[in-house]
Chain A
Amino acid sequence: MSRIEAKKPSLCTNDPLTKERVSFSLSVLSGIVKSCYGPTGRLKQLHNGMGGYVRTTSQSSALLGGLSITHPALKVLTASVQNHISRFSDCGLFTAILCCSLVEHFQRINFAACTVTKISRHLLSLCTDYLKSEACGCRVSVDFDSIKTLLSLVRSILASKPACMLNKTEANHLSTLVLKAFLLTIPHTIETNVVLGKCVIIPVKGKRVMDSTVFPGLLIDIPEFQFARTFPVKRVSSSAIKMALFCISMSGDLSNIGEGTVIVHHGISLEVAVLDQLLNLGKQLVNDQVGLVVCQKVIHPSLKQYLKEHCVITIDRVGVSMMEPLSQMTGSQPIAALHSVSPTCYGSLKDLRTESFVSKHFLHLVPNDTLVCSLILCNRNEMAWDELKLACQTAEHVLQLTIKQPLALLGGGCTETHLASYIRHKSFTLPTSVLKAIDCSRTQYQLVADAFCRSLECVACCLEHDDGEILTDMVYGHFWSVQSGFPSDCNWSDLVLKCGCGIYNNQRNLNWTVLRSQYIPFAPQSCSNEPSINSTDHLVLDCFTAKCSGLQVAVETANLILDLSYIVEDQN
């Protein structure tokens, strides 16, 4: 008999945000994410205290995945950041920091949750409308004709991950490789439905980062003894090798028997019958001048031997994940029949080579139309390699998002400060009709707007970890940082060099002020007609799609958390 346990009643908490426990956990969480942000961010070591694997990271996806959060309200926060990361890969820390500081700042002004929600939704719509409008002063359009902006985008992503341990030349080298790999996955002929190819990352640990390289086509790992016995491939012509791709088992097992019974008379071997079929298939493949046979599953040794005798190379057990790139790259269709194979299913390769790295040996499948490429990624140690791989995947994803929406936002804190000064200006000049529609007073609106702008600026401030001073200019509303230890009687203009994103140098009198001080709201000027956008090599750029969505998700999540008035915890 099954034992029935009485269900425990659930635990109810009212006004959860006023409790000590949540504000403490929130400040710990926000401390963690804030200290990780940016190129000079501090690294975190995640370990389980029981001798497990130690991960050194500063990336949100690894960090939030590793943290175990118990408080339900914070679980909502981390879950929404993680969901954001799974959609966009980038701007996870931005979302997390913004969300934390919004919650903190909004709590401080202590209005009814619905008022804050209404006003912050309006502020958010101001932001998104501005970012999406042509007049937006903190975005640049990405020109796919020159690789300069694309390269800046990739470099900004790699540079903001300090746990990768890259120096400047290494970062440049890798950025070029990632961009090259991405460009290889774009099909040559553009139809209505563009399907991007795939970039396969192959780990080689213990080599220098500078040894990393990109190959068009696929590299398939093969054991050393097979590597030693490679032989001239059977070619149809000098630049074409016929290839057959199988997605069923060729091991000679009995397939598709059904659920009924099969009665086999004495002396009859079904295995022999199947092997017979396999060898017939081999004969057909040889007759059809196939030079390479790839199988997702296992190939029977007899068939392998037969094919080898006829100078056909066999690769088996490539796994299901390789099937799509293989068929995409070679144009071959996965074959699921062991007899009467249609010749239309065969694909073709340009060349077949062998490559070796350190102790690894690869068969290099060179395609006619690339679409698929292999990025050999090297880094000195395991931990840094993991971090680097994540960064490269993020960069690839960002490039894919950028091709859909060819825009980028200014990085290095400039977007945040620019947006904050834009919102300050807007909220100062808001018509009364809008206030009436939101049903709030002007003071209420301005207090919430101020908290909103402070939260945005707070994200920018998190870029500075070394006690430096953060300034903003009163013309463009950009982000400028000054290293610590400056003499107190100095003029700001003597200290600043370049703004955060790198568009502006210290050349004009830009009227600097300390970021978090009170200043008169002004309408920030746009950078879009600045000649330096295309001339400057080292711009810091952020993914437009990811940051826009991150901004919205952060505000929505903060509203959600502030709106909580009860928590019902199931204790079972």
Chain B
Amino acid sequence: MASQRLRTQRRAVSMASAASLDLGRLVQEAEALASVLVTRPTGETLLTRDGRRVLEALNLGPPTARMIVACVSSHHNMTGDGAKTFIILLSKLLRGLQAILDKREGSPFCEAIQRSKRDQKHCHSLKQISQSLMTFQTHILDHIMAQDLRKHFLSAFSSWEGEISRDTMESILEAYFCGRIGNSHQKLLSQLSCDFYYRCIPFKNGKNEMLDLVNEYFVELHSAVTGLPVSNSRILEGLVLHRDFAVYCPADGDIRMLILTESIDSALAPPGLEFVVNAEVQYQASQVWITKRTEAMMKHLQNNNIKVLLSSVKQQEIVIYYAKISGISIVECLSSEEISLLCRTTGISPFIPTQDNIRSEISETMIAKFCRPLVLGSKRYVHLGLTRTCAFEPHCVIFCGPVHGITEQHASAFHGAFKMLQQLFKAVDLSDGCEAQPENTNNTSKTVHCNSSSWVDENPSCNQTELQKSSDLAKPLVKLESDFMFSALIDRGSSVRELQKPPLKCKHPSEMWVMNNSEPAVNNHRICNDAMTAIENTSTSVVSKQLDAAQEYWKPGNPIVPFKFEKSYKHTVQSYTNLVIQAGSVLPVGGNFEILLHYYLHSYAKQCQQPKITVISTVIADALLSIPKILYRTTKENSFTQVCFKATSALQTNQQLPMHQQGLESVYCKYQLVASVLHCLTKLLTIDLIIGIKRPPQKTEVNDSEEDL
């Protein structure tokens, strides 16, 4: 305690703005969308346009800046995109809020606390802003998304079975790579990733499972070769194991393989056992016995027509020797990830070489079409042509480039693209009733979102006396939700919507408390929701016919279906489903999402009764415009003001938005981004003191997330 030293107390907003000035370079860089060369302490250089990498490389000093970087990283880890937009949006929001606080007079955040001291007053208004932000994020954002923005969304799917046409896929990927690697290799990589997607996906329903697998094992599924032109990058059928053969015996036809996780040869005295030598002959005999046993084991494998052993451990020389004699190839020292990837794709478990199973038939085998050495650059690898047994057709990517920096940049962008696709196929539920209740502060604790859940615990309502009761009461609810949230985050595979259904029911007791005067209505509403989300899937088939008509109306030959034209769908489904964003929702790139959200937020702010919310909505709406402003900064034909004017007039007359660019982007990612930025902002605003301490702090949350970098 004595070593703790109170440093200075600074106001959170100005502090955060100062931090954002530190990030100014990144903002500049992000605005320029240019490439950055990063050198590491080890001397290697890395080329990148990835905002997250640049942020992390900056090694920023101020703790708030580090917290912002941590927020960006966690957002980026999840969605694979949006680091630069995050920073731009956040800095604009901070500046907007600063402007409000500076103005003071007439601000709804300063009226109520006339008598308090200045510092406290300031602190108090920050608190209020952060609460309003929270309210905004939990109620109004979803509300606006569901009510207004939804009709503008397009669907990436060409049919309701969730198929996605190649053209659409390409335009989504191209738009993604544009921001990540620049135009020089954008085309090549989007083609490559598109190819990879369609070659890996075995049937149309397996896309989520396939994407999970690709994202989880991406390190094992790609290899990099330096010193070759980028155009040599390609997709290979099968898997490349990053080891060379210890023994290679060529084999044709279907090749049976085994996975091993222990040595075939047994030691004289295994760990924990004693071996007593009574006579020299005995020692010799036991040596001979061990050799014979290994020989017998290899013979047994040969008799079972096993051609390849894939081992995670190093095998003894004697095993290699007998393998060569028996015509069995061995790959050893495979990483545990490679072993688990092999087990996942083939569904077999490792073989255990014991005396007992030497007579029995070997069942846990996999079949490969080929198994041969592959030379990539100067390294020799093993190329396995596995036959598929799960929702992933084994393929891998080879990235070529003149320097390591390039291949790494391409690999991380490629990985990011698949993370983005994973997000694209997610849907968002409107968790609460459709009515926004900004005045009910109790509701701030009720956040059912797909956002990072840990933030819910830091609910700002805790230190306010009038809310004390409610926060105590709400605690179990928060707990429940955050736990559930966490599991939703971890379980990358399942769609958020599915996971959210059960907890809705769990909430009923507290629900009654929260809305005690409208209890029956809420319950009815809930039940209705649950019932109708179940129906939703069935109702889609009815809708599809109308959609076909709408499709023709929209654009002949273009497989993108605007939700706007699903009139009946909207009326029937939206009235009882809580889908904010449907799986596969996309919007054209070029700031369309931001302009739309800006427009609707502004009109919401105009008619909103609560002054605080009005102010917050305006600040957010204005900050959102900074993104298209930067996007259209350099283009000659479409200046920002023109684009914005066209879009607004189109919206006022209920027309389709004009499209300037070909690409498409996932609405889910955009939505997620806005939510993450607002969370980060709320978090920043709730800090009122920075304490400098001398010893390393015990692992706290911020540190943890920094470790993750």
Contacts and interface: CB of A to CB of B under 8 A. Distances in A.
Interface of A: 4, 6-10, 12, 14, 16, 72-73, 75-76, 79-80, 82-88, 113-114, 117-118, 121, 193, 247-248, 256-265, 268-270, 272-273, 276-277, 333-340, 342, 344-345, 549, 552-553, 556-557, 559-560, 563-572
A259 B265 CA distance: 14
Contacts of B403: 76, 79-80, 83, 557, 560
Contact of A262 (B32, B269, B325): B269
B146 interface: no
B36 A549 contact: no
A334 B246 CA distance: 12
Interface string B276-296: 111111011001101110000
A565 B227 contact: no
Interface in B50-108: 54, 57-61
Residue from B58, B60, B265, B290 having most chain A Cβ neighbours under 10 A: B58
A375 B288 CA distance: 43
Contact of B267 (A4, A257, A273, A277): A257
B321 interface: yes
Nearest to A16: B37
Interface in B291-342: 291-292, 316-318, 320-321, 324-325
Contacts, number: 224
A178 B324 CA distance: 34
B34 interface: yes
Residue from A73, A258, A342 having most chain B Cβ neighbours under 10 A: A258
A162 B280 CA distance: 65
B696 interface: yes
Nearest to A553: B402
B402 A557 contact: yes
Contacts of A572: 41, 59
Contacts of A10: 57-59
B639 interface: no
B37 A262 contact: no
Interface stretch (B133-141, B228-236, B483-491, B657-665): B228-236
B646 interface: no
A552 B280 contact: no
A270 B283 contact: yes
Residue from B226, B276, B406 having most chain A Cβ neighbours under 10 A: B226
B542 interface: no
Contacts of B277: 262-265, 268, 270
A261 B269 contact: yes
Contact of B274 (A7, A85, A261): A261
B272 A260 contact: yes
B287 A277 contact: yes
18 contacts: A10-B57, A76-B45, A79-B405, A80-B226, A80-B402, A88-B227, A256-B318, A258-B269, A261-B274, A270-B277, A273-B283, A549-B229, A553-B227, A556-B229, A563-B184, A567-B38, A568-B57, A570-B59
Contacts of A269: 280
Contacts of B372: 193
Contacts of B41: 570-572
Nearest to B272: A260
Nearest to B58: A10
B419 to A, nearest CB: 24
A560 B265 contact: no
A336 B227 CA distance: 38
B288 A339 contact: yes
Contacts of B37: 16, 72-73, 76, 564, 566-568
Interface of B: 25, 28-29, 32, 34-41, 45, 47, 54, 57-61, 182-184, 226-231, 250, 265-281, 283-284, 287-288, 290-292, 316-318, 320-321, 324-325, 372, 377-378, 401-406, 696
Contacts of A566: 25, 29, 34-37, 54
Main secondary structure of the interface of A (DSSP, over half): mixed
B38 A553 contact: no
A-B pairs with the 5 shortest C-beta distances? A258-B267, A260-B269, A83-B227, A80-B402, A565-B34
Nearest to B292: A340
Contacts of B60: 9
A87 B227 contact: yes
Given A118-B183, A566-B35, 5 more contacts: A72-B37, A88-B227, A258-B268, A262-B274, A334-B324
B65 to A, nearest CB: 10
Contact of A564 (B35, B226, B265, B279): B35
Contacts of B324: 333-334
A337 B36 contact: no
B183 A117 contact: yes
B25 A256 contact: no
Contacts of A261: 269, 273-275
Contact of B273 (A260, A339, A553): A260
A262 B57 contact: no
Given A87-B227, A345-B325, A563-B34, A257 B268 contact: yes
A568 to B, nearest CB: 5
Contact of A86 (B38, B317, B378): B378
Contacts of B184: 117-118, 121, 556, 559, 563
A87 B232 CA distance: 13
A553 B231 CA distance: 10
Contacts of A6: 61
Given A335-B321, A337-B321, A344-B325, A9 B59 contact: yes
Contacts of A336: 316-318, 320-321
A563 B321 contact: no
B230 A556 contact: yes
A265 B280 contact: no
Nearest to A569: B39
Contact of A87 (B39, B57, B377, B406): B377
Given A86-B378, A256-B265, A337 B318 contact: yes
A60 B227 CA distance: 14
Contacts of A560: 35, 47, 402-403, 406
B673 to A, nearest CB: 23
Contacts of A16: 37
Contacts of B377: 86-87
B280 A270 contact: yes
A568 B318 contact: no
B59 A76 contact: no
A75 B38 CA distance: 11
Contact of A549 (B45, B228, B250, B406): B228
A87 B402 CA distance: 10
A213 B316 CA distance: 40
Contacts of B271: 258-260
A262 B268 contact: yes
Contacts of B268: 256-258, 260, 262
A340 B294 CA distance: 13
Contacts of B54: 566, 568
